[in-house]
Structure 1
Amino acid sequence: MAAASGVIAAKGQGWAILLADLALILFLVTASAVVPRDSVAASGPAGSGDAMPGAMPEAVPGVMQAVYEDAPGAPSLPEWIDSLAMGDSADLTIEAHYGDGELPQAMARAGELASEARARGKRAIVVFSPGEPGIRVRLSYDAQAGAELAR
């Protein structure tokens, strides 16, 4: 069969090819583990060699821990915040969904909630999107802050 395909393998040298393949695989795995992913993302276009000036880091959603619904009968946002043991890396995301013509009301209520969070020493990100009206506040922990601790 070997003669028909045009490839003639010498006896006893297959181990060298196998060893070379394994060495290449080991090199690639090691290289991918050593290079920090942040430096690859900020290195700019391929071959440029220097980071793009003013490049913003990619937003990484945090790990969600709790959700607050702004609804009748629910505790106030400050009460909810006080009931949770939040660390310094905790973030609040206020998601305001609005129906037709309801954006001004959603903006006003989301602004009130953001002010209440700020009064409790918590930073809040506010996101508006059309949809079923309602406001939800998510407590999450910054994924990038956790990555810094892991290094």
Structure 2
Amino acid sequence: MIRSSALPRPGQTRIGHGWQLILADLALILFLLSLSALPAAEAESGRHLAARAVQEQKTRETAEPEVAAAQALFRPVAGGPSLGDWLRAQAPDPRATVTVFAIHTPGAEAAAWARAETLAQQARAAGTQVRTIIAAGSVDEVYASLAYDQTIALAIRPARRAS
């Protein structure tokens, strides 16, 4: 039979390792106290701690409107249906939103806005919620996307009211 000096003999207790458990317990207690003090410090001062405030500011700055994947796309073509007629032919869904995209080259901003407004009026006349996004690009084009954007649009509205 081989005996190891690392293992205590029956009836003996291990000596010398109790301080490690005590230190681990104290570290855990200190961590929990520090963690519980954070909300108390915010409540007393009435302001967010610096790290949280910076993180919230970055979130606000980088938040961009999101566009859901298109359920259907409409591009105006000569001799084709208007956006209003096209929308009436689609399956009605109160959750759907039409997003009119107007891409313009430098100097063609007014024309892009006019074409986007025409499509937006046709969509409103068809009873659909509309939002318009106008951006600069290398070609002039206008198209509409029918998508489930309503929940995204509702999530964006309260953030704009608070600003």
TM-score (norm 1): 0.55
8 Å CA contact 2:83–2:122 kept in 1: the answer is yes
The equivalences for 1:108-147 within 5 A come to 108-131=114-137, 132-142=139-149, 144=151
Q: CA shift at 1:134, angstroms?
A: 1.2
Structure 1, unaligned stretches of length 5 or more?
A: 1-9, 11-42, 146-151
Taking the aligned partners of 1:81 and 1:109, their CA distance within structure 2 comes to 17
8 Å CA contact 1:61–1:143 kept in 2: the answer is no
More helix by share: 2
1:80–1:97 distance in 2 versus 1, CA, 3 Å: same
Q: CA shift at 1:91, angstroms?
A: 0.5
Question: Secondary structure of the equivalent of 2:118?
Answer: helix
Letter in 2 for 1:144: T
1:127–1:117 distance in 2 versus 1, CA, 3 Å: same
Q: CA shift at 1:100, angstroms?
A: 2.8
Q: CA shift at 1:95, angstroms?
A: 0.5
- Structure 2 residue aligned with 1:98, among 97, 104, 113? 104
1:63-113 CA deviation, whole Å, 9 max, x = no partner?
A: 311000022232111111011013101011100111232111111111111
1:60–1:134 distance in 2 versus 1, CA, 3 Å: closer
Q: Name the structure 2 match of 1:73.
A: 79
Structure 2, unaligned stretches of length 5 or more?
A: 1-6, 8-47, 153-163
Question: Secondary structure of the equivalent of 1:110?
Answer: helix
8 Å CA contact 2:97–2:150 kept in 1: the answer is no
Letter in 2 for 1:87: D
Aligned residues: 100
Higher Rg of the two aligned structures: 2
Q: Name the structure 1 match of 2:94.
A: 88
Q: CA RMSD in A?
A: 3.1
Letter in 2 for 1:138: S
Identity of aligned residues (%): 28
Letter in 2 for 1:136: Y
Taking the aligned partners of 1:72 and 1:143, their CA distance within structure 2 comes to 30
8 Å CA contact 2:96–2:150 kept in 1: the answer is no
TM-score (norm 2): 0.51
